């Protein structure tokens, strides 16, 4: 295992070659990688079995083991994500803006690759293939550093991917995996400024904070999700019920699951008894304010500590409000700026909510769970950013680029 700085140097050299690859070449390479994944599915599953066995031995939680496990369907899903990414519009070379100055200089703001992306993540091995593909689509080199629990799976996935793209003329160091899972390597990677242009960190809030603190390379962290659904007085009650249920229950352990339900008082009596029962049947623990407990008397009393909580579990806080403005204030005060939803049939409430809520994604009549690169049609996502700089919300290939001013003149000088 070579040193992290050596890996970063190899990636940097590869990134210069990546920048010269045409969109067609990148597209074909990604399709070859998808094909290779399908062809090697048995070998991938065999390697994955070792990770799963070792996780079982270490008594990992069933949810984690589920995230770790690959089968034929999951390998096929990965391959399909690669094909979708391949077919996307090339972000590189896009002219974002173009104008001519008073002096007659033609200025273009052109989208170009970032260079080298360092990708730090945990558990799910599909992230290996999908992150590599998104970075590759945007003509970057990538250094992957997955969790130790998935090391066998990640190693074979990275190998198949990088061999397949190399056959299509891509540099062989376009995708590199750090196989030494010592945690200090993460910090070392985050200190390679000049070689690594961006670190994307998917993991706990604490991990992201540590990387930012220890490193010098800019970090985009996968954000905490305290997501809300607000049911307006004008909401279609059945739609509200389905969105509120789906947002909490469909997969409670992820960042785009709802943590707090906010209901307008005028619809609370109609909605809450039915919905409360449905949550109860699904095993959801409810923590409600007094306004909501009127209609769900069995709910626990919510405390001030509940409102900013990211439960990541079958627990939900519930609040009744007098107005859309009160809902907006609550969300801006306690939310994490991730994904917040209004269910409403009233255009002026929707406009107020969309404008007033300061979050990466504001949805109207859609489940919070739909904030996802796959659902959005990005093929996959490299993360969901709750930062306001560079990229906000689900991040795809386009978010892995920067821009460059290209100016064309005829001898203009400064007077």
Binding site for a copy of itself (CB under 8 A): 19-20, 99, 101-103, 105, 107, 109, 114-115, 197-198, 218, 220, 236, 239, 242-243, 246-247, 250-251, 354-355, 358-367, 369-372, 375-377, 387-390, 392-394, 402-414
Whose tokens are 């305290």? That residue is 226
Query: CB–CB of 118/143 below 8 Å?
Result: yes
Q: CB of 250: closest distance to a copy of itself in angstroms?
A: 5
Integer Cα distance of 364 and 339 in angstroms: 11
Residue where the block lists tokens 């991938």: 44
- Least distance CB 21 / a copy of itself (angstroms): 12
Say if CB 313 and CB 253 are below 8 A apart: yes
Minimum CB separation of residue 19 from a copy of itself in Å reads 7
Q: Least Å distance between CB 125 and a copy of itself?
A: 22
C-beta of residue 370 within 8 angstroms of C-beta of residue 396: no
Nearest residue (CB) to a copy of itself, 125 versus 221: 221
Looking at beta carbons only, is 64 or 375 nearer to a copy of itself? 375
DSSP state letters, 330-357: HHHHH--SSEEEEE-S-HHHHHHHHHH-
CB of 162 to a copy of itself, least distance (A): 23
Residue closer to a copy of itself (CB basis): 176 or 341 = 341
> To the nearest whole angstrom, how small is the minimum distance from the Cβ of residue 182 to a copy of itself?
25
Rounded distance between C-alpha atoms, residue 339 and residue 226, angstroms:
8
> To 5 degrees, how large is the angle CA 76–CA 139–CA 129?
25
Integer angstrom CA distances of residue 298 from 246, 280, 288, 316: 21, 10, 9, 13
Rank residues 150 and 382 by Cβ distance to a copy of itself and give the closer one.
382
Please state, in angstroms and rounded to a whole number, the distance separating the CA atoms of residues 339 and 227: 5
Identify the H or E element spanning 245.
helix 237-249
Q: What is the 3-state secondary structure (H, E, C) of 82-115?
A: HHHHHHCCCCCCCEEEEEECCCCCEEEEEEEECC
Minimal distance, residue 387 CB to a copy of itself, in Å: 7
Of 49 and 364, nearer to a copy of itself (C-beta) is: 364
Nearer to a copy of itself, 180 or 408 (CB): 408
Q: Measured from the CB of residue 163, what is the shortest distance to a copy of itself in angstroms? A: 27
Rounded CA-CA distance 89/255 in Å is 28
At closest approach, how far in Å is the CB of 109 from a copy of itself?
A: 8
**In the complex with a copy of itself, which residue's Cβ is closer, 65 or 110?**
110
Q: How far is the CB of 36 from a copy of itself (least distance, A)?
A: 26
Phi, psi for 280 (deg, rounded to 5): -55, -45
Provide the token pair at 112.
């170009």
Residue 253 token pair: 């352990």
Which CB sits closer to a copy of itself, 169 or 194? Answer: 194
- The nearer residue to a copy of itself, 183 or 388, going by C-beta atoms, is 388
Give a three-class secondary structure readout of 6-47.
HHHHHHHHHHHHHCCCCHHHHHHHHHHHHHHHHHCHHHHHHH
Looking up tokens 């093929």 gives 379
CB-wise, 53 or 96, nearer to a copy of itself?
Answer: 96
How far apart (Å, rounded) are the C-alpha atoms in residues 191 and 217? 6
């Amino acid at each position: 295992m070579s040193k992290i700085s050596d890996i970063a140097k190899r990636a940097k050299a590869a990134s210069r070659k990546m920048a010269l690859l045409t969109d067609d070449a990148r597209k074909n390479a990604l399709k070859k990688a998808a094909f290779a994944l399908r062809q090697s599915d048995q070998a991938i599953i065999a390697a994955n079995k070792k990770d799963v066995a070792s996780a079982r031995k270490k008594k990992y939680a069933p949810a984690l083991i589920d995230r770790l496990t690959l089968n034929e369907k999951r390998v096929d899903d990965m391959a399909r994500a690669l094909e979708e990414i391949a077919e996307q519009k090339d972000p590189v070379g896009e002219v974002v803006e173009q104008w001519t100055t008073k002096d007659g200089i033609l200025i273009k703001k052109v989208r170009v690759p970032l260079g080298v992306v360092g990708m730090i993540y945990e558990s799910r091995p599909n992230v290996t293939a999908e992150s590599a593909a998104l970075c590759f689509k945007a003509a970057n080199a990538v250094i992957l550093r997955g969790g130790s629990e998935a090391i066998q799976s990640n190693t074979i996935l990275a190998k198949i991917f990088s061999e397949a793209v190399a056959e299509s003329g891509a540099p062989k160091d376009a995708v590199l995996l750090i196989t030494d899972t010592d945690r200090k390597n993460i910090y070392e990677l985050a200190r390679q400024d000049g070689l690594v242009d961006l670190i994307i960190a998917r993991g706990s809030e604490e991990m992201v904070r540590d990387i930012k603190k220890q490193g010098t390379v800019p970090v985009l962290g996968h954000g905490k999700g305290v997501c809300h659904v607000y049911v307006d007085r004008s909401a279609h009650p059945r739609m509200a019920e389905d969105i509120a249920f789906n947002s909490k229950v469909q997969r409670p352990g992820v960042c785009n699951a709802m943590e707090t339900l906010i209901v307008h008082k005028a619809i609370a009596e109609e909605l809450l008894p039915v919905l409360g029962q449905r949550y109860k049947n699904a095993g959801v623990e409810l923590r409600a304010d007094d306004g909501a407990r009127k209609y769900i008397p069995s709910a626990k009393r919510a405390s001030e500590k509940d409102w900013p909580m990211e439960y990541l579990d079958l627990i939900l806080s519930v609040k009744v409000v007098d107005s859309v403005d009160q809902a907006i204030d609550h969300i801006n005060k306690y939310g994490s700026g991730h994904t917040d939803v209004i269910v409403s049939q009233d255009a002026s409430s929707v406009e107020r909510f969309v404008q007033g809520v300061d979050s990466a994604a504001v949805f109207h009549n859609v489940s919070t769970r739909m904030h996802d690169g796959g659902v959005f049609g990005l093929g996959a996502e490299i993360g969901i950013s709750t930062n306001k700089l560079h990229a906000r919300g689900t991040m795809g290939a386009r978010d892995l680029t920067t821009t460059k001013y290209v100016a064309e003149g005829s001898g203009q000088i400064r007077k």
